[in-house]
Amino acid sequence: GLVITASHNPVGDNGVKIVDADGGMMSQAWEPFSDALANAPTPDALLQLVLQFAKDEGITLGGAHSAQVLLARDTRPTGEYLLDVATKGISAIVGSVALDMGILTTPQLHWMVRNKNRGLKASEADYFTQITESFRSFVIPARVISHGEHCIIC
């Protein structure tokens, strides 16, 4: 997943946050690779980095869709432009497809990536349904049924 956001920073600091396949934050072990990507001196150097990474990680590229990248953005003015650039970059990797999930918060995209990779529903509406159901189960007290010395919590 990839979220385009400046988060709590000024508008001019808009950038990206990468969501790992498990829905968590990107592992620090990936930072050297992401730094190399961001600082690739030429398009060819960038391509070589991606190809080497795919080889090292056993990622099959080519033909069928081998990777889906869920994208989201915040409402800052540069968000649409950066989303377009990210979509084109992802689509340039053979076998990869970018899925625009819309304007979301970072935690929403984390949840969606996690669910998508578990084969579960992963839309914004599904996110709010789960939040609502979780909140409801938290605030609605359990019923206690007493049977003599025994209590059953329902």
59-89: per-residue pLDDT in tens?
777 666 568 899 999 999 889 999 999 999 8
User: How far lies 100's CA from each of 3, 72, 86, 147, in Å?
Assistant: 10, 6, 10, 54
Which element (helix H / strand E) includes 144?
A: strand 144-147
Just list the catalytic residues.
7
Give the separation between CA 1 and CA 122, rounded to whole angstroms: 12
- Structural domain boundaries of the chain? 2-120
What are 66's two structure tokens?
């081998």
Architecture of domain 2-120: 3-Layer(aba) Sandwich (3.40)
- Confidence class of residue 153 from pLDDT cuts 50, 70 and 90? low
Q: Lay out the sheet containing 2-5: strands in order across.
A: 15-18, 2-5, 67-73, 96-103
pLDDT digits (tens, 9 = 90+) for 88-144: 988 877 678 899 999 999 999 999 999 999 999 999 999 999 999 998 887 776 665
- Ranked by mean pLDDT, which of 24-28, 110-114, 143-147 comes out on top? 110-114
Looking only at the bridges linking them, the beta strands covering 150-153 and 144-147 are: antiparallel
Phi and psi (nearest 5°) for 22?
-85, 0
Work out the end-to-end distance of the chain between its first and last CA atoms, rounded to an integer number of angstroms. 39
pTM reported for the whole predicted model = 0.77
Across 36-54, b (16+ Cβ under 10 Å) vs e yields: eeeeeeeeeebeeebeeeb
